Amino acid sequence: MGVNKERMLAGEWYIADDEELGADTRRREELCRAFNSATGPEQRGIVLRDLLGSVGDQVRVRPPFQCDYGTYITIGPRTFVNFNAVFLDAAPITIGADVQIGPNVQLLTPTHELDPDRRRAGWERALPITIGDNVWLGGGAIVCPGVTIGANTVVGAGSVVTKDLPPSVLAVGNPARILRPLPPPSEA
């Protein structure tokens, strides 16, 4: 693994336009194209397991789906990802079990320099995103770099999550704010 990729995965500033990262991007482009053009769930499942770092049992991802690398995405069992998901995994994205992800949801780990010269030079860094078990992300929700969403939390449609959310809350808005706690899950 090259120094630039090590820096990326460590959450340090790195140059996004790099030969090694470019090879990973070409791999992802081919696999995303194969996934998005697959004719059925069995074929998509095979490609998804090649594309992503880890895929649990009974995971369903509807095409089209896009990601940065794929290899840094983990999806837990029985999770559902609806149409037009964009998962930018320059840092790890960890999605728990039984998660529901609405259409047009974006999980964005990269962040860019505010300094215009460094930004023009291609510097960026990425911070991991963690989605707990049984979370529901409503359609069009955006989860920003470095955010953790606790188990059983619901994020309303169109919300932009810029800070961590605890377990079992309803959060909505831009930026997402907690509206109220949610009842704990039943033992069933």
> Mind telling me the catalytic residues?
112
- Residues 178 and 174: their CA atoms lie apart, in Å, by 11
For residue 91, which of 8, 174, 179, 182 has the smallest C-alpha distance? 8
Beta-carbon-side half-sphere exposure of residue 154 (alpha carbons within 13 Å): 10
First-to-last CA distance in the chain?
45
Judge contact between 65 and 36, C-beta under 8 A.
Answer: yes
- Residues 4 and 17: their CA atoms lie apart, in Å, by 10
> Which uninterrupted H or E stretch holds 14?
strand 14-15
| Site of tokens 């460590």 | 10
Rounded to a whole number of angstroms, the CA Rg of the chain reads 17
